[in-house]
């Protein structure tokens, strides 16, 4: 069974990661909101699904904080490598 608290945390972190990863030009527009974008919810759904599957099926127990920190690290490294 999926832990509801972990699912909520992953959803909140996903939203935070998406908001933080938004390009500067979009974030500067006063009327911009990722909540208006269907792709935001698709990405959020994908992240939450992957997070939940890792929690359920990974060979070792892994805590939420480790998963979140690794997700953030991967996001930042991905941006650096795309330069």
pLDDT at 1: 45
The DSSP result for 17-53, as a single string, is HHHHHS-HHHHHSTT--GGG-HHHHHHHHHHHHHHHH
Rounded Cα distance between 45 and 47, Å, is 6
pLDDT at 34: 86
Rounded Cα distance between 29 and 49, Å, is 30
Q: What pTM, to 2 d.p., does this model score?
A: 0.55
| Sites in the chain below the pLDDT cut of 70 | 1-29
Q: Tokens 């939940």 sit at which residue? A: 52
Which among 34, 36, 39 is positioned nearest to 23, based on CA atoms?
34
């Amino acid at each position: 069974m999926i832990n509801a608290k972990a699912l909520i945390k992953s959803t909140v972190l996903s939203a935070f990661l998406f908001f933080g990863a938004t390009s500067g030009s979009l974030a500067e527009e006063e009327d911009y909101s990722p909540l208006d974008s269907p792709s935001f919810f698709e990405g959020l759904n994908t992240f939450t699904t992957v997070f939940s599957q890792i929690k359920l099926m990974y060979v070792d127990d892994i805590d939420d904080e480790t998963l979140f920190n690794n997700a953030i690290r991967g996001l930042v490294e991905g941006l650096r490598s795309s330069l």
